[in-house]
Amino acid sequence: MKIGITYNLKDDLSPKAIIDSESYEEFDTPNTINAICDVLEKNGYETAKLGSDIDIVDKLKQEGIDFVFNIAEGHIGRNRESHIPSILEMLNIPYSGSDPLTLSLTLDKNMTKKIALQAGIPVPRYKIVQAICDLHGLESRLSYPLVTKPAWEGSSKGIYDSSKVFTKKELEISIKLLLDKYPNQPLLVEEYIEGREITVGVIGNNNPDILGLMEIVNKKTPGEDIFYSLETKRNWKELVEYKSPPDLDRVLNNHIRYRALTAFKEFGCRDIARIDFRISEKRNKLFMLEVNPLPGLSPEYADLTIMAKAQGISYEKLVLSILNHALSRYKNERGSLTHETI
């Protein structure tokens, strides 16, 4: 079987795009692509590095691809993560991960919240803002501290240390900054949940399993709340400690697992996803922040990889398990799997 890898590389960005230092946050490094290829080739698969440029259709045909391992983030628009899967479906080529609809819905934070609420999953109270005038009356509905963020971005793009605001003046300054930086998409203002941040890995399909739970802990001042901003993520070695499994009582642990599995199913996730929560300090109440059906797979620093290693799951087994779950969905007859899934 020949497996193509679709992806976006930081190295492929134009000099103009690199000027905006956030442009590459979601994209991968060659180390990640090479690591995935190494795992697949070690286990008997032929691989082809396809990228995700405009000539992807020609590459797919020229290479004679049987299956695609997709980690492409896309370039432009609210539906960018769905571009490659849409092409693959049009060409009837099987691929790993969630389908175009799920990828588009979960990238849009407003739609994510609407679906979560419909499914009975609590989310922080919020308001969509498209202009400064939309802030009128906001303080009567939401309580400080608040967080400002772009509605269609991932990897903490547009979420800075200054995005956590405590006053109307700070809110207006933050919104003006984001309106200038992200003029073509709505902004989200939501209540900040003081407390603990937990991310959950979910793997599988019809009967998905919890890969693990991991807490993002304040390394410099343990026990204090941590705001997982872009600056914090970039300086994670200094500022963040990852604790997996986290210290949770049995009831809360089970509750988080149940909510994560519910979200995975409600959003139609496939094969793998990572779901982020906050636990309020005051009432120990759980709030879902995001669903990420295209989690990073860097062998060094991706949350999912760190979580898996903490559970004793090697990088090789993680990648093969994602592949196996995907292949099982298609009941693929062109190759057999002998490796174990998680």
Residue 10 has pLDDT above 90, yes or no: no
Which helix H or strand E contains 204, and what residues bound it?
strand 195-204
> In this predicted model, which residue has the larger pLDDT, 154 or 124?
124
pLDDT at 193: 97
pLDDT at 283: 87
- CATH class, range 2-96: alpha beta
Intervals of CATH 3.40.50.20 along the chain: 2-96
Task: Give the pLDDT mean for 277-294.
Answer: 95
Identify the architecture of domain 125-191 in CATH: 2-Layer Sandwich (3.30)
Alpha-carbon distance of 324 to 205, in angstroms, equals 11
Beta pairing partners, 195: 280
Query: How far does Cα 162 stand from its chain's mean position?
Result: 22
Intervals of CATH 3.30.470.20 along the chain: 195-330
Alpha-carbon distance of 303 to 297, in angstroms, equals 8
Confidence of residue 133 (pLDDT cuts 50, 70, 90): very high
pLDDT at 48: 97
Alpha-carbon distance of 267 to 115, in angstroms, equals 8
Alpha-carbon distance of 85 to 166, in angstroms, equals 41
Minimum mean pLDDT range among 34-38, 91-95, 281-285: 281-285
The answer to whether the CB of 97 falls within 8 A of the CB of 272 is: yes
pLDDT at 20: 59
Go through the chain and tell me how many residues it has.
Answer: 342
Alpha-carbon distance of 288 to 61, in angstroms, equals 41
Task: Give the pLDDT mean for 178-187.
Answer: 92
Which helix H or strand E contains 277, and what residues bound it?
strand 271-280
Alpha-carbon distance of 317 to 138, in angstroms, equals 48
Intervals of CATH 3.30.1490.20 along the chain: 125-191
Fold of 195-330: D-amino Acid Aminotransferase; Chain A, domain 1 (3.30.470)
pLDDT at 316: 98
- The pLDDT tens digits of the residues spanning 213-247 come to 999 999 888 888 899 888 888 888 889 999 999 99
